[in-house]
Structure 1
Amino acid sequence: MALRVIGLVVPSGANAFKAVNVAQKAGVHTSSVRSLRYGWLAYALGERTTPRLKQNSKIITLDGNLSSGKGALAQKLADRLGMLYMPEPDTFYLDKMTGEKEPLPVDFNGMCSLEKFYTDPKAADGNSYRLQMWMYTMRLLQYADALEHLLTTGTADSEVPRSVLCSAQRPVRSRQGVILERSPFSDLHYNEIKGISICEFLPPHLVIYVDLPAEDVQKKLKQSGKSYLQNVPLTYLKSIEDSYKKSFLPKISSVDGVFIVCRPQVAEDIDYLKFEKGPWLEQDDVTYHHMRMLVEDKQRVATLTHIPKFLPEITIGAHDYDEKYYAFKSLPGKKYAPGYNADVGDKYIWLK
């Protein structure tokens, strides 16, 4: 399928929120890309998750229509609860994961355009399909990043002697929860692809739905600085609203609570939630171990969306894929693994 090109650039074990800031240190006969990651040995030597799960070690998602105020509320809640806020991913989320200084061409980012989706939703070139599939994959990768953050914070993974010590030998630090705008669970397109991928993940602990009428959403969009959003049809906005209320919210009812938000004291309301039901309560250190192994392998996560279907309008054939592969490899710093490309200034390559 078209999105198989994702395999060219998905980093293994990368955190989107760490990729830009973490500097790899290379020494003699050590690879800058062979970072010491959590694995079976750390688990066998005592690394456990459940002792560090505290009250706010949760995954919370905010859902709602376009421009419904999800982002502002999510940021407010994250600050109030001491959680990590992850904004809704855009089409260039993959570039943020790989730490690109500037976004790569769209040929390596789903070959789709959000602006074209709103101005020409029925474009014959398959842009709408590619965009929605690409964004589902980006949300899946971001959700994996959120789970990895939840399961990893509070440990000293980069310090091997400490990371393999049993919990009794070091201070117990709590896992930090994450608040996201939307999630792959609220994506209502392409049931076959969603069915074979979302089943590998636990749902959010809490879903908060921001209930803003479609008419108010359209008024806000008309005042937007983005011209391609100013003429979004009301029928489209109403269809999103109906999909949430008639399909997503009933299906996600297994989550501990679903808020219909129209009040400012939502953060205080969260403090009183008991979280007494849901699949998270059925987990133990063994299942957390397997989940952690999955979500740190972003290539494996991305591959979950691959299905053997041929759609002429959007499928990338072998020759096109080969062409794009070598086009990607010809970009500065992409011929070899990070740290081994002299064309971008990597030093002492022969010692690594």
Structure 2
Amino acid sequence: MALRVIRLIIPSGAAVFKAGPNIQKTGIHTSSVRERQYGWWAYILGDRTTPRLKENSKIISIDGNLASGKGALAQSLADKLGMLYMPEPDTKYLDKIMKEKEPLASAFNGNCSLDKFYSDPKSADGNSYRLQAWMYLMRLLQWSDAMEHMLATGQGVILERSPYSDMVFVEAMFKQGYIRKACVEHYNEIKGISICEFLPPHLVIYLDVPAEEVQKKLKATGKDIPLPYLKSIEDAYKKTYLPQISESAELLAYDATQAQDIERIAEDIEYLKFEKGPWTEQDDVTLHYMRVLVEDKIRVASLAHAPIFLPEVTIGAHEYDETYHAFKSLAGKMYAPGYNADVGDKNIWLK
């Protein structure tokens, strides 16, 4: 379902995913509607990635429980190191990237609701897993944006969480009975066939904030999240994710107080040798293939698609057809951007 919706929204071949400052690319116009995009000709003509990679050309993931202070640390650290900060994506990530003037209906954004998850996590309509599957796809797309930015500009990127750590929510949801075992199996399948195509973070910074303290912070903002669920997320981080990711990425951990000392964290990062993981094995050829992949968002989305029937995320042909025509009936969606008279596009016949 997610891939079908992605294909509805993203014009095939269009370079529409941009995060942060505009990225200067080398490429060749292949059609009147296509932007310049990196490809084989750029590589053949001498565009190489390794010369632009510097000391801080790294991708850093800030991880931790809900309301643990990830955003504040990521923003401060990005400012300190001169890196690009990418906030954690939400269910409306596509709307932001596509620069929609108003958020599209949930039917075009995974057909899921975070508010419904918090109010009724065991909803019989499968919202909990539908939300999780959609969020994995959003994180995967954002990860491709982060890699594209770093490979194209040399500027490092700091994100809140990643598709690699996304599994902590699946583990916590299953432990609390929010999703079925079949959902976990489906998630492991789509993650297994997609995440292997990318490179992991250079560094993971984990904010170790106790679940009890997290719950207090959430209640102060009006969110009543069950403590067992928060504890399950914490356990999934410490018992599953962190031991796994430490084999391929550098790992630093701080408590809430230590996380306030940005100077110390920046100094700790300087002492890291970054000798772990597949990044050390890359060269201009492998990074060329990676850059081609991460620029093709349709291809990235297709990686997280498996022909497996699961009631929570599977839609029928008639429902898809209705969704397709509903999307095309929206203002400015009938044709490619710039070719829709209903939103004021001019001189269409000259383009």
Report TM bin, short chain. Answer: 0.7 to 0.9
Deviation at 1:313, TM superposition (A): 4.1
Match of 2:61, SS state, is strand
| 1:68 and 2:68 matched | yes
| Percent of residue pairs bearing the same amino acid type | 71
Deviation at 1:16, TM superposition (A): 3.4
Moved runs in structure 1, 4+ residues, more than 6 A?
none
CA distance in structure 1 between the aligned counterparts of 2:20 and 2:157, rounded to whole angstroms = 14
Which structure has greater helix proportion? 2
Are 2:194 and 2:303, in contact at CA under 8 Å, matched by a contact in 1? yes
CA distance in structure 2 between the aligned counterparts of 1:294 and 1:256, rounded to whole angstroms = 22
CA distance in structure 2 between the aligned counterparts of 1:205 and 1:211, rounded to whole angstroms = 19
Question: Which residue of 1 is the match for residue 247 of structure 2?
Answer: 254
CA distance in structure 1 between the aligned counterparts of 2:163 and 2:31, rounded to whole angstroms = 37
Are 1:16 and 1:96, in contact at CA under 8 Å, matched by a contact in 2? no
Question: Which residue of 2 is the match for residue 211 of structure 1?
Answer: 208
Question: Which residue of 1 is the match for residue 96 of structure 2?
Answer: 96
Among residues 142, 154, 176, which one is paired with 2:155 in the alignment? 176
Match of 1:248, SS state, is helix
CA distance in structure 1 between the aligned counterparts of 2:141 and 2:10, rounded to whole angstroms = 9
The count of corresponding residues between Structure 1 and Structure 2 is 319
Deviations 1:5-37 (A, max 9, x none): 222113543223269x89xxxxxx973x31111
Q: Which has the higher contact order (CA 8 A, sep 6+)?
A: 1
Are 2:20 and 2:84, in contact at CA under 8 Å, matched by a contact in 1? no
Deviation at 1:101, TM superposition (A): 1.3
Question: Which residue of 2 is the match for residue 163 of structure 1?
Answer: none
Match of 2:246, SS state, is helix
CA distance in structure 2 between the aligned counterparts of 1:342 and 1:44, rounded to whole angstroms = 39
RMSD of the TM alignment (CA)? 1.7
Are 1:3 and 1:134, in contact at CA under 8 Å, matched by a contact in 2? no
| Structure 2: stretches of 5+ with no match in the other structure | 24-29, 171-186
Are 1:2 and 1:315, in contact at CA under 8 Å, matched by a contact in 2? no
Alignment TM-score, normalising by the size of structure 1: 0.87
| Structure 1: stretches of 5+ with no match in the other structure | 23-28, 154-174
Deviations 1:30-75 (A, max 9, x none): 73x3111111000001000001110000000000000000000000
CA distance in structure 1 between the aligned counterparts of 2:3 and 2:313, rounded to whole angstroms = 9
CA distance in structure 2 between the aligned counterparts of 1:256 and 1:232, rounded to whole angstroms = 31
Among residues 191, 194, 201, which one is paired with 2:191 in the alignment? 194
Match of 1:185, SS state, is coil
| 1:124 and 2:124 matched | yes
CA distance in structure 2 between the aligned counterparts of 1:133 and 1:298, rounded to whole angstroms = 17
Are 1:2 and 1:316, in contact at CA under 8 Å, matched by a contact in 2? no
CA distance in structure 2 between the aligned counterparts of 1:348 and 1:30, rounded to whole angstroms = 18
Among residues 135, 156, 164, which one is paired with 1:185 in the alignment? 164
Amino acid at match of 2:323: K
CA distance in structure 1 between the aligned counterparts of 2:138 and 2:285, rounded to whole angstroms = 27
Deviations 1:70-120 (A, max 9, x none): 000000100000000000001000111211111111110011000000110
Are 1:125 and 1:314, in contact at CA under 8 Å, matched by a contact in 2? no
Amino acid at match of 2:314: T
Q: 1:296 to 1:2 in 2, by over 3 A?
A: closer
Deviations 1:112-156 (A, max 9, x none): 000000110010111111100000000000000000000111xxx
